[in-house]
Amino acid sequence: MGVFTGRPWRRGEPIDDAVLSAMRRTVPLDVPVSDCLLRVLAARGVTGTHDLESFFYPSLDQLHDPFDLEEMDLAVERVRQAARDGERVAVHGDFDVDGITGSALLYETLSSLTVDGSRLKCESPFIPDRATDGYGVAGRMVREWADLGVTLLLTVDTGSAALTEIALARDLGMDVVVLDHHIFEERPRATALVNPRRDGATYPNQELCGVAVAFKLAQALRQKDPASLPEAFLTTVLDLVAMGLVADQMSLVGENRILVKKGLERFNDRSSIRPGLAALLAVAGLDRGFPVTTGDFAYQLAPRINACGRIGRVMSALELLLTNDHAVARSLAEEADRTNNRRKEQDARLKDEAIAAALPYVRRGDPGLVLGSSEWHKGIIGIGAARLVEQYQLPVVLISIEGDEARGSARSVPNIDVKVVLDRCAHLLVRHGGHAQAAGMTLRARDVDAFREAFLDALRQQPQTGPVPETYDLDLDLNHMSMRDVAALVQDLENLEPFGSGNRKPVFRCRGLRLQAPPATLSGGLHLRFRFRGPAQPNGGGEPALVREFLAFGSGEAWRRRAEGNGTPNGGNGIGVDVPDREWDILFQLTRSTFRPRGGAYDPVQQLLVDIRPAEAT
């Protein structure tokens, strides 16, 4: 088992040499590529001439026909009718990055739409407040819009399960178009329900998130009538689509990869980037000339937007995306940054408390964790649950208790569908919904203990497959590589971007390394810096690759706990992590460095340690 992940390791499927030879002849690049790159591509199913061409040269022309989405024709016709008749229209989103970007995109689409020379009247988009409105469509806004004369409501990233609220809207004279990707059991009374994950859906890409479904509506509107939206409109909103897809952890293959890659191009064009996103890059320290990546989306930009929806003023995030005023954008970006700093403080406290509460259950071998507290803010329990999943590789539910009501957030491991598990506990839940890997619920505070037992019983009924292995792509012997070799490989692997769910950065294994010294701690022990012994000079000369340090982000606690024997379900004697002559196997990633030191030479490579284990482990 790995020290950091607590998981076994498994190599990806080996690739036949004949496949590699064929790829080498047909890869559509003007420069030579390494066997390493070809093997990674082949392992991800990209081998044929057409696949390679579309992978390296993606185009919006390669997107699927939006009318292949069920009921898209109904949605398009109802929106066009609203524009033709000058109707008053409202947009309702959700309070995460997907819902906020989706609301911004949908508002810009409707505000730009012209049909037969007429335009609709679009109310300012609405994002519910997590604390006061809760999950789903807000009934109070439905009533308010009805009083204002709204006749068409569009929901994005929400609405599929809003049976009561959509019925209310219809009773008050509103048609409703739902643009969503959440699983639901009963179809609401919507005029159109566009959802790639509905039962019986045949659309080729079920991994669209809410903002991507909203984009498909814009694509369909322009496909129906090219004059109805400005010629370059679809390109102008790709930044929103890319950020939503990455933040919602959708699979970055096929259509989604095209949307994210093109969205990144938009993001990295400083002449066209929207003021709010430029300001967000500035407060995050990402305006230093390096290209923006999906990693920047996931770890820098999305958390700041999400923080507004979790513990801050959610509408400020939407205003940030929509404003054209640079001064306003700067002020809103600074507000998002401050809110995110508060969120990180609360998140750190919650994680410490949750780990302490989890240990007795982990040690007795429970198949999952259900922990609750009246001290935990409901806006950050999802982040805390995800942290505990990383720590223990178990499904986790964290619950915020407020008086008689409790709000829970569930996160799961890849081999367990937590939505199915929650379905088996439905008799104890007021409401619940979500995905296989993430879900939310509301229950009565008095039922928390009973829910814990029901949740654990439901998990015990699931097939027991053990910990999900940590998969690596290839073996890479750093003992025989120079720093120049590694830098060239990093540049080669950048052809695989954008990275994310379904297309992660390649992971390599190197075996039989010895530590120069115990790892140095960074950020108060949160992160670690490793140095391994290497040869005086690798094959081919040059500075040895192992001269460069390895960074292990967020692994300090796991290293310490494993050393003490407290990181395994039944405790133990530890693994002797400080034994100086012990050999280690490592899993690692190679990536471009964006750190420019104040003095000294710039190193273009960063080596990230994914996991480590004693070499004799199997």
pLDDT band, residue 265 (cuts 50/70/90): very high
Residue 321, C-beta contacts closer than 8 angstroms, at least 6 positions apart: 100, 101, 104, 240, 274, 276, 277
Residue 575 is predicted with a pLDDT of: 56
Q: Which amino acid is at 129?
A: D
Residue 436 is predicted with a pLDDT of: 77
Residue 260 is predicted with a pLDDT of: 96
pLDDT band, residue 571 (cuts 50/70/90): very low
For residues 375 and 373, give the distance between their C-alpha atoms in angstroms, rounded to a whole number: 5
- Among 1.10.645.10, 2.30.29.30, 3.30.70.100, 2.40.50.460, name the CATH number for the domain at 9-57+470-614: 2.40.50.460
For residues 486 and 307, give the distance between their C-alpha atoms in angstroms, rounded to a whole number: 37
Of 108-122, 479-493, 554-568, 571-585, highest mean pLDDT:
108-122
Least confident range of 36-40, 134-138, 320-324, 397-401: 134-138
Residue 572 is predicted with a pLDDT of: 44
Residue 540 is predicted with a pLDDT of: 64
Give the 3-state secondary structure of 581-617: CCEEEEEEEEEECCCCCCCCCCCCEEEEEEEEEECCC
The pLDDT of residue 570 is above 50: no
Residue 238 is predicted with a pLDDT of: 96
535 or 245: whose pLDDT is higher? 245
For residues 444 and 428, give the distance between their C-alpha atoms in angstroms, rounded to a whole number: 8
- Among 2.60.40.1930, 3.90.1640.30, 3.20.20.140, 3.40.50.300, name the CATH number for the domain at 66-267: 3.90.1640.30
As a whole number of angstroms, the longest Cα–Cα distance in the chain is 79
Residue 593 is predicted with a pLDDT of: 83
Task: Calculate mean pLDDT across residues 69-95.
Answer: 96
Q: Which amino acid is at 336?
A: A
The pLDDT of residue 56 is above 80: yes
Share of the chain above pLDDT 70, in %: 93
Least confident range of 133-137, 300-304, 375-379, 524-528: 375-379
Q: Is 65 helix (H, G, I), strand (E, B) or coil?
A: coil
User: CB neighbours (10 Å) of residue 446?
Assistant: 9
Which tokens is 3 given?
């020290």
Radius of gyration, CA atoms only, the chain: 25
pLDDT band, residue 541 (cuts 50/70/90): low
Residue 161 is predicted with a pLDDT of: 85
355 touches 396 (CB < 8 A): no
**Ramachandran region, residue 281 (left: φ > 0; alpha: ψ -120 to 50; beta: rest):** alpha
Q: What is the DSSP letter of 165?
A: H
Residue 617 is predicted with a pLDDT of: 53
Note if the bond before 498 is cis, omega within 30 degrees: yes
pLDDT tens digit string along 113-154?
A: 999 999 999 999 999 987 788 778 999 999 999 999 999 999
Residue 551, C-beta contacts closer than 8 angstroms, at least 6 positions apart: 522, 527, 528, 529, 530, 606, 607, 608, 609
Angle at 350 between CA 348 and CA 354, to 5 degrees: 120
Residue 452 is predicted with a pLDDT of: 95
Residue 466 is predicted with a pLDDT of: 59
Which tokens is 595 given?
């750190």
Give domain limits for the chain. 9-57+470-614, 66-267, 368-460
The pLDDT of residue 228 is above 80: yes
Angle at 243 between CA 237 and CA 244, to 5 degrees: 90
Which tokens is 285 given?
């320290």
Least confident range of 24-33, 198-207, 449-458: 24-33
For residues 590 and 192, give the distance between their C-alpha atoms in angstroms, rounded to a whole number: 46
Q: Which of 396, 367, 361 is nearest to 465 (CA)?
A: 367
User: CB neighbours (10 Å) of residue 571?
Assistant: 13
Residue 156 is predicted with a pLDDT of: 96
The pLDDT of residue 208 is above 60: yes
Give the 3-state secondary structure of 449-502: HHHHHHHHHHHHCCCCCCCCCEEECEECCHHHCEHHHHHHHHHHHHHHCCCECC
Residue 16 is predicted with a pLDDT of: 83
Residue 130 is predicted with a pLDDT of: 78
Q: Which residue has the tokens 């003095």?
A: 599
Residue 573 is predicted with a pLDDT of: 45
Task: Calculate mean pLDDT across residues 250-259.
Answer: 91
Share of the chain above pLDDT 90, in %: 49
Q: Directed axis angle between helix 72-84 and helix 210-224, to 10°? A: 60
Task: Calculate mean pLDDT across residues 442-461.
Answer: 92
- Among 3.40.50.920, 2.30.130.10, 3.40.718.10, 3.10.310.30, name the CATH number for the domain at 368-460: 3.10.310.30
pLDDT band, residue 565 (cuts 50/70/90): low
pLDDT band, residue 430 (cuts 50/70/90): confident
Task: Calculate mean pLDDT across residues 3-17.
Answer: 83
Residue 215 is predicted with a pLDDT of: 98
For residues 175 and 236, give the distance between their C-alpha atoms in angstroms, rounded to a whole number: 28
pLDDT band, residue 73 (cuts 50/70/90): very high
For residues 87 and 153, give the distance between their C-alpha atoms in angstroms, rounded to a whole number: 11
Mean pLDDT of the residues in the chain: 88
